Structure 1
Amino acid sequence: MTETGTDDAVQVLQIQLPQSVTVSTFVAARIKEVEAMRKSIKQSTSVKMAFQKLPQHMRRRAMAHEVKRLPRRLREIHANQMKKSGLPPKSKRPSRKYRRRPYNLLNDYARRRRRVKWLNTHIWHAKRFFMVEKWGYKLPHHPCDKSFRACYRAATQHCLLQDISYNRVVEISGNYSFLVSKLNKLTASAVGLSFGAKCFSEGKKYGRVILFKPGNNDPINRKPIGQVDFVWKNCSDIVASLWIFIHPAFYLELLNVFISLFELHVLNMEVDNDDVNKDSVYAGLEGVVLKELEFEISRLRLTGPLSVAVIQNAFKLVDFENVGNLPSWCNNYKIDMLSKQNQLFKDLSSDHILPPNVVFSVVVHDPRMNMPKKRTKSLPRSLKIADIESYHQNISFSPLWDSEVRQYVKENQVSNAQINEMRSELLVPGTDLNVPGEMIPVMLWKSGTKVGRCSSWDVIVPSSWAQHFFISFNMWGGRAGGLRETESLAFEESRGDILYPDSLAGEKEEWYQSDVVKQKFFSLPPNKRTNYIKFGMVSPLTFRWSLLVHEWCESDVLTGFFVLRDKKILHSVQEFLLNKSKAAEWTPIPDNCLVAVQVLPNKKGQCSKFAEICLPIEADLKNEPVERYYKDPNMKKRNDMRRSHKLLLKRLMKRRKRAKKAGKPVIKTDTALLETYKTKMRNLWLPEPEIIRHSCTRQVMGFVKQGGFCYSIGKSKGLGYVVGASLNLLAKMGFRNKILFRNTNSRQYRLASIEVLMD
């Protein structure tokens, strides 16, 4: 055998192999052998079941009786094996598939959107976010994954993506001078710039202003409505257009103010009530026309240093010189101006060279044609020497202002099914499509840059394209966030409330937050609840601004309050608090005002929501005090009520059982009795406060509205309001900015410093 093996080896070595092999010829010669081998692999002659051919890590317990648990390639084999064994497969109507047919699915979506409104990105968010109902919308609150720190990291180092289209838009058109004269009645010069400011009139920059109710000439005590963003299109004396972005919490209130201010009346009254996606149009004095653009304009926000890189990668800018067929709407606009805007944005390497609050306009192709196959991190481009003067010109001209253009891009939008069909016909799967796609006008807003704040871009797109742009930004590295991330960024940047406590919308929001916290408190068993009465907390889950201001004003008449917004006064207060010189003089401020402050603990301590801001005494600067224990007079009442209520429920249960056993009609439980018991018990746990200022050993100055650990400074902080009279007293006592704060679940006071918040 050894000699035979040696001879075979010699013969193999003597064979001369060719220098090259043609793969196509070699495979064609052995195609039958390859097919026979594949067929033998698929049709095994062993007695194994189909699911037993899978590796161990892919097997599931339910595979033996549920064919859908198997991979598609093995389902037919499994069905044949089941037939041979005498057990026919179960025939069951695909109910979920039947329910989710496109016709029924769209009808169901339309029905569910009648109660609460959906964003255009609702379907995408609903699969990945915890959704909440707020302000009449179904909004994403936070991602389902543990991503609180990841979202903060995205906002500071990468890119955070948010859909803020719930900020509703109205367009007001008319004579520029007339519009400014009317709208200035809603603003105050001491608070900031108005609609008629020269820097906003040309449309190069967008503005931000606080609106007040008209009819009151006092600039200090005017009742505010809220803060809005606006941008002008054309400011000629003949006709001008203005977009105002309004928070949904006070949208109806401000809309009614506009209707009375311009004496508007509805034009499209013949609109069908079943059409929920129809915007209203109003007409009024001097040819003023107001349009609601809720279903025409969407707003996406990108925050972080890589926002420019994400936008530039997601945007495939239109090259007007080499493009073939231009859409019909391009004939009404200057192509050279649109081409220059695209070139300026293409050459933009960093947003630091841009002026603050600049408005940018570009025209891009369908973002789905430029989307990566998997999520890709966008990196900034190499720095170039840019002509800064070019970005100070009027680059805000955009066809997006035209309603006909918005309607055109909506009607000519290619569906996802058509794009997927085009991709399936590619010779090489996974390659890019050569079709450029539809041309869409887009508007960009660059936020102002301040120290310690993250730069952000707002992308204004037609509503029908919002989801496509959102997914494209996400695929190019933007991390999606929700309402929680909006609150977190405002807290990190020490920005004050948009919904002020002296406004109607802010008051509603505070009661809503209080109800949520109370519901969580009373969902706990009695032995797990914090007894706030023993801690001396008379208002632990509610902001009682009116009562607190009334006590500090020391008057018999109930005094109204307002938030101090005068920038000159706020600057003088801040300089006095931070100035260590004894020669600094204090300028008294109104007693019935609230001042927005930031609380920074001096040593240790976590500042949480609803914490009390208190006035210190001389000894507190050396040793932090501890509040004494208080007696709870309601404890015995609660125990007696709980005991008698349990006995009552037992008697009622026995009565129902006897009636059921005897065949008599069962008496239903008295729900009014249960509600009365619930209300009385809750009032014994959290009684209505009568005094707040002198409720504990230290005088209460105000409350913390938002508190917690701040990543930007590496320690805890709080944002809240204090009464103006308490600041006057603090200045007289000579403590400067030293105060005390105490959390609701603690008796320990902590020494801290306060700073005035100024936007």
Structure 2
Amino acid sequence: MEDLPEQCNYLALGAARIREIKAIVSKLDNCEHGNRVFQNLPRHMQRRAVSANPRRLPRYLREKHMREGGANVKPTHRPRRKYRRRPCNLLSEYNRRQKEYTWLETHIWHAKRFHMIRQWGYALPDTPTFKGYRASLRATKKSCLLQDVSFMCCIELEGPQVSLLNGLSSVIQPASLSSLSDTEIQLGRKPIEVMLFQPFRQPYGAIGMTEMLWHPHSDHLQGKSRVWLWVHPSVHSQVVDVLTEVFSFVKTDSAQEGDKVSQERIESIISTGAEEKTKEAKEITLSADEKVREYELQNGVDEDVDIAALKDCAKDDQDSKQKRKKPKMPKNVNEAKIARKNIPFVRTPKYTSASSEITMMLLKDTLNRFRLTGPQAHSVISSALHPAAIIEKENTEAEDDAVKSEQPWWLDYYAKEQSKSRHLEQVKAWKQLFSCPQPRPGTVLPLVVRDPRVTLPHKKIPLETATSDVCAVSETEQEELGKWPLENPIYDSAIRDAVTLSKEPDAVINRRRHQLLVPGSQLPETAEESRLPLLLLARRPTYCEDYGNGWDMIVPAGWGMSVWMPLVFGGGVAGGQQEAENLHMEIHTPLPPYLLPDTPAGDYFSGWLANKRRTDFFRRPPANRQNFIKLGVQFPFSQPWRELAQDWEPGTQDIYVLRDPELLRDLAQIVQEPSCSISITKKRKTENVSEFPCKKMKIIDQGKEESANECTSAIDVCSIEQKLQGLSYGSLVLVKLELCYKGVLEPCAMICLPLKEDHQAREFPAKPSSKIEDISEPPHPDTKAQQRARLKEEHHKIKCRMQRQRHKARQRVSLNTDVMSLVPMELTIEQATAEALKKVENDNQVILHRYSSFKEEMENAWLRDTHDPLQCCSRKILGYVTHGTFSLTLGKGAGIGWVSLKALLRLMQVCCGRSSTTGEQKGCLSDDGRRVGKNNICLVLTRNPSSFQYRWAKLSILL
């Protein structure tokens, strides 16, 4: 820098400009020699940590970092956790963090013990931090699995029952409509699950499954009926839109005012208490004025007395009193926790039909719901909840109206003798029902219990194992027992608000428990103690033995954590979303809407999952990727349901899931009867003459006696054929797969139709030592290998060319541009370099466009074209697997998936032909390799997208 040109006017530039020029020149010198600070770091240094905090640089590199502009970069200082977790700001911080994703009331408890995911607008527990797969499955078999399903959205419809049924008839199937007319369902004694569709599009246009619960008829309804619809959050908006279209709903003004009130309430709770401070200052000023006025009245007005000084003294006295007392404004913690919920009922969004006859209320996030699955669910509920007793308040003196209005809600509710008798009958039914572990499925038991926090044990209570002398209740006794009254305060919105808003703080309960003389004993029940109304719904078990039965519990808002902790302390094993999805395959619980292939939620979720799998696949280096072109896999990340239906039935425009229970039961009986044989009276020479297995098919039950050669029971498949005539072959059937031998199924695995040679090789191997599963897909030619090599070479050439041109542009600016010539133009060398680089990019627009499209073209070169024919493998594809793993209930690899209806009929035709040709005297190999008698189970071949190997699997239809 000492050799600067003489024409440089140091006086004009000033000292600041000279220092800037020196820094620029030194930076250019460093750039010419390629001295990068972060490239010279020692190996043990973390570049990411150094880039976040330059103070972590070694001392011999700090000066160079400062010369290159590091002095202007300041590390971001986040407040310490001590200040972020202040109790005065903690609740407001929680409310602020729920703007995008709503938290469940048990979120804090789950966040400490679970991996959390964010889906459908909620922050949900995914899976425990410990290994919870075996524990959750063991709990459903032996103890109790506990799940918080409060994300389920509730929609309330109110209006004449005839009008409600007429409107719902357009969005449900006719069979479900006939079930809704059942007397027990309309009285509210039993919930019912129905599938909702787009109006008048059944069986197409499915939306999702909903659980409907009718309210019991009460006097306040005045001839109207109410029904609750529980839907999954992934389809909540779609259900609201469909109901709005069917009933012509319009959002009322009260709902909009409620939204404004809710927003103002949230802001008032989250904001600081500036108004309280202003109010305190006014009170201090008023107290000072009162003291001056009192002095004037007592001593008269004296000119020598300084009134201003007297006021100052009064203020100083008041300030000293305030400092000594330090009053703390009581916080309404319960109100702050439910600030973002639609409570009270005025804030609930409401819709009214054009005739003002039917009303819809969106009770989303105003009710908590907990799911208990397992044989010990009744024991967990019994230990956590205790029925409340009706204790009347003592009449001491004449009370004012204000005091009477502040009394608890249950004193007014149970003032009538009819309400008391109903409560006593419900408590009696509770004691009788929970003395037996298996109530009738679909039982609805309303109840009012004590505050669960009062009876919370000090430590977790182990569950007692079920004994063999448990009482067994017959169906007649259950029917007689199920006549208890169904009226409950939880159905009334005003009482729900009172229950939520009048909840005592946890500090009050803990203080009362602390004052007990005997630690661990229960508090006595008083008239002032809080009461909690709730609903218990008995779930029906799945067709898997000893699995799926349990209870659902519905609790008002604000009481989620108060009920959750007693359930956990009572022995419940908590589970998350992954545990719920595993139960779909293990015990065949009903699938949610986002896992169905014919719903919009299923399309969205499958697309999101496919993008995630595709991103994870291309994050791997090329040497660690499977070549799906050689494997012959066209869709490795998703299941092409529409392409599958169009391949088996050309011209299919849309798909739907086969949900007819009678037809599914008949198909399952044909497929899943291992002890039956199928006989064909007329054999077709050509396969495409009939799409059905046979015209006269009979299932013959093999008796124990050998002489019983004739059929003892037969099912005419002609009736099944007549039912199938009216169906479209674009339907999908839910199936379960059990691998016959080793192996595990993966998602997107293909379900393939075995050839005749495959069955012969399995039943009659050429050599005793030959492998039964020695079936593999021949490698396909890699038609895009040259394209990938060409793209890689072209990309490297473009990259090197652009690097050379950019380097020349920088060098041209640094060598040919005079530093002092940039001073009048007020330009820096960085700006001149940026303009030169921009010019290089403008001159190479075509090349840069080719360079930017390299990633997409290279990814497509790793995959097969989606418009190619689907049946590109040696075995025809019948369907795809959606969820597969090692099943602990079966002890082998298993999975669930969907197959096309026409493909299923083709499989049954192959099984019938195989059974007729083999005969009863011929045998096949069992799972352990031993030769056994004739086996009529439908067997298919499965292949994972990452393997050439085909594996035998047993196929069964799920109802």
TM-score range (shorter-chain normalised) is 0.7 to 0.9
When structure 1 is superposed on structure 2, of 260-269 and 305-314 the one drifting more is 260-269
Partner of 2:49: none
**Structure 1 residues 331 and 647 mapped into 2: Cα distance closer, same or farther (>3 Å)?**
farther
SS in 1 for 2:414: helix
Given candidates 610, 627, 631, the residue that maps to 1:531 is 627
- Distance in 2 between the 1:475 and 1:658 partners? 72
* 1:269 corresponds to: 256
Partner residue, 2:400: none
Alpha-carbon deviations, 1:109-149, whole Å to 9, x = none? Answer: 22221211221111211121111111121111101112211
- Alpha carbon RMSD of aligned pairs, Å? 2.8
Do structure 1's residue 331 and structure 2's residue 400 form an aligned pair? no
Residue of structure 2 in register with 1:281 after alignment: 350
Write the distance in 2 (CA, Å) between the matches of 1:352 and 1:429. Answer: 32
Separation in 1, partners of 2:472, 2:870: 60
| Alpha-carbon contact 2:387-2:447 (below 8 Å) kept | yes
Amino acid in the other structure paired with 1:401: Y
Identify the match of residue 482 of structure 1 among 576, 579, 583: 576
What does 1:36-55 align with in structure 2 at a 5 Å threshold? none
CA deviation after TM superposition for structure 1 residue 197, in Å: 2.9
Tell me how far apart the structure 2 counterparts of residues 656 and 374 of structure 1 sit (CA, whole Å).
70
Q: Distance in 1 between matches of 2:807 and 2:487?
A: 77
Asked whether the 8 Å contact 1:159–1:302 carries over to 2, the reply is yes
Instruction: Give 2:668's match in structure 1, choosing from 564, 571, 574.
Output: 574
Q: How many residues align?
A: 662
Contact 1:338 1:362 in 2 (8 A): yes
**What amino acid does structure 1 have at the position aligned with 2:368?**
S
Quote how far apart the aligned CAs of 1:649 are.
4.6
Q: Which amino acid aligns with 2:145?
A: L
Partner secondary structure for residue 630 of structure 2: helix
Corresponding residue for residue 225 of structure 1 = 207
Q: Which residue is 1:744 aligned to? A: 945
Q: Report the 3-state secondary structure (helix = DSSP H, G, I; strand = E; otherwise coil) of the residue aligned with 1:642.
A: helix
Question: Runs of 5+ in structure 2 lacking a partner?
Answer: 1-76, 267-339, 343-347, 395-407, 681-696, 699-716, 763-772, 815-828, 915-935
Q: Is this contact kept in 1: 2:150–2:365, CA < 8 A?
A: no
Task: Quote the Cα distance in structure 2 between the aligned partners of 1:323 and 1:112.
Answer: 43
Q: Is 1:444 aligned to residue 536 of structure 2?
A: yes
5 Å-filtered alignment, 1:162-181, equals: 162-181=147-166
Q: 1:632 aligns with which of 782, 800, 805?
A: 782
Match of residue 346 from structure 1: 431
Deviation at 1:396, TM superposition (A): 3.1
Contact 1:143 1:481 in 2 (8 A): yes
| C-alpha distance in structure 2 between counterparts of 1:508 and 1:536, whole Å | 26
1:397 maps to 487
In the alignment, the residues of structure 1 paired with residue 87 and residue 181 of structure 2 have an alpha-carbon distance, to the nearest angstrom, of 50
Find the residue that maps to 1:161 and give its secondary structure: strand
Question: AA paired with 1:619?
Answer: E
Q: Deviations over 1:695-723 (max 9, x none)?
A: 10001111011111222222222211111
Q: 1:557-604 CA deviation, whole Å, 9 max, x = no partner? A: 453222111223222322322342214255444322111111122333
SS in 2 for 1:752: strand
Q: Residues 104 and 594 from structure 1, CA distance in 2 versus in 1: closer, same or farther, beyond 3 angstroms?
A: same
Counterpart in the other structure of 1:613: 751
Q: Bigger shift: 238-247 or 524-533?
A: 524-533
1:373 aligned residue: 458
Q: Judge conservation of contact 1:369–1:435 (CA < 8 Å) in 2.
A: no
1:709 to 886, 889, 898: 886
Paired residues of 2:798 and 2:851 also in contact (CA < 8 A) = no
TM-superposed CA distance for 1:259, in Å, is 0.8
Alignment-derived partner of residue 223 in structure 2: 238
Return the letter of the residue paired with 1:567: P
Aligned to 1:725: 902
User: What is the Cα deviation at residue 354 of structure 1?
Assistant: 2.1
User: CA-to-partner distance for each residue in 1:517-543, whole Å, 9 max, x for gaps?
Assistant: 222222222211111111111111111
Residue 143 (str. 1) matches residue 125 (str. 2): no
Residues 5-54 of structure 1, C-alpha deviations (whole Å, 9 max, x = no match): xxxxxxxxxxxxxxxxxxxxxxxxxxxxxxxxxxxxxxxxxxxxxxxxxx
Question: CA 1:484/1:574 → structure 2, altered by over 3 Å: closer, same or farther?
Answer: same
The answer to which of 673-682 and 654-663 deviates more is: 654-663
Query: How far apart, CA to CA, are the structure 1 residues paired with 2:438 and 2:519?
Result: 41
Sort the Cα spacing of 1:209 and 1:655 in 2 relative to 1 into closer, same or farther, 3 A. Answer: same
Q: Do 1:174 and 1:286's aligned partners in 2 also have CA atoms closer than 8 Å? A: no
Aligned partner of 1:676 in structure 2 is 853
- Which residue number corresponds to residue 508 of structure 1? 604
* Alpha-carbon spacing, 1:690–1:347, altered in 2? closer, same or farther (3 Å): same
Task: Tell me if structure 2 keeps the 8 A contact 1:354–1:391.
Answer: no
Three-state SS of the structure 1 residue aligned to 2:188 is coil
- 3-state DSSP class of the match of 2:169? helix
Residue identity matched to 2:349: S
Call closer, same or farther: CA 1:313–1:611 in 2, change over 3 Å.
same
Higher mean displacement: 237-246 or 694-703 = 237-246
Whether the 8 Å CA contact 1:595–1:756 is kept in 2: the answer is: yes
2:626 counterpart SS class = coil
> 2:235: which partner in 1?
250
Deviations 1:188-216, CA, capped at 9 Å, x for gaps: 13468543333311111111111111133
Say if 1:313 and 1:323 are closer, same or farther in 2 by CA, change over 3 A: farther
User: How much does 1:675 deviate?
Assistant: 5.7
What is the Cα deviation at residue 435 of structure 1? 5.7
Instruction: Tell me which residue corresponds to 2:328.
Output: none
* CA displacement 1:286-343 (0-9 Å, x = unmatched): 5211111113211000111111111010002112268878533333661111122123
Distance change >3 Å, CA 113–CA 228, structure 1 → 2 = same
Q: Deviations over 1:654-679 (max 9, x none)?
A: 77677778443455999987763222
- Larger Rg belongs to: 2
In structure 1, the residue matched to 2:345 is: none
* Unpaired stretches in structure 1, ≥5 consecutive residues: 1-91
Distance between the aligned counterparts of 1:647 and 1:428, measured in 2? 83
Matched-pair contact (CA < 8 Å) for 1:601–1:750: yes
Structure 1, residues 59-94: CA drift from partner, whole Å, max 9, x if none?
Answer: xxxxxxxxxxxxxxxxxxxxxxxxxxxxxxxxx999
Structure-2 change in CA distance of 1:362 and 1:561 (3 Å) = same
* CA drift at 1:185: 1.8
- What TM-score, normalized to structure 1? 0.81
Tell me whether 275-284 or 239-248 shows the greater mean CA deviation.
275-284
Q: What residue is the counterpart of 1:203 in the other structure?
A: 188
Distance 2:855 2:367 in 1: 46
**How far does residue 281 in structure 1 lie from its aligned partner after superposition?**
1.0
Q: Percent identity?
A: 29
**1:363 aligned partner:** 448
Comparing 189-198 and 245-254, the one that deviates more: 189-198
Per-residue deviation, residues 322-368 of structure 1 (Å, max 9, x unmatched) = 88785333336611111221232133345555221111111111111
What amino acid does structure 2 have at the position aligned with 1:317? P
1:107 alignment counterpart: 92
Cα contact 1:396–1:443 (8 A) shared by 2 = no
Q: Structure 1 692/320 Cα, relative in aligned 2: closer, same or farther at 3 Å?
A: farther
2:379 corresponds, among 286, 299, 309, to 309
Stretch moving more, 568-577 or 152-161: 568-577
Counterparts in 2 of 1:647 and 1:373: CA distance versus 1, 3 Å = farther
Q: Aligned pair in 2 of structure 1 residues 166, 658: CA closer, same or farther (>3 Å)?
A: farther
- Cα distance in 2, alignment partners of residues 474 and 704 from structure 1: 35
Matched, 1:601 2:731: no
Asked whether the equivalents of residues 547 and 691 of structure 1 are also in contact (C-alpha less than 8 Å), the reply is no
Shift of 1:428: 5.3
Query: Quick check: 1:160–1:304 contact (8 Å CA) kept in 2?
Result: yes
Aligned residue in 1 for 2:616: 520
Aligned residue among 131, 140, 158 for 2:143? 158
The alignment partner of 1:368 has SS state of: coil
Q: Secondary structure, in 3 states, of the residue corresponding to 1:698?
A: coil
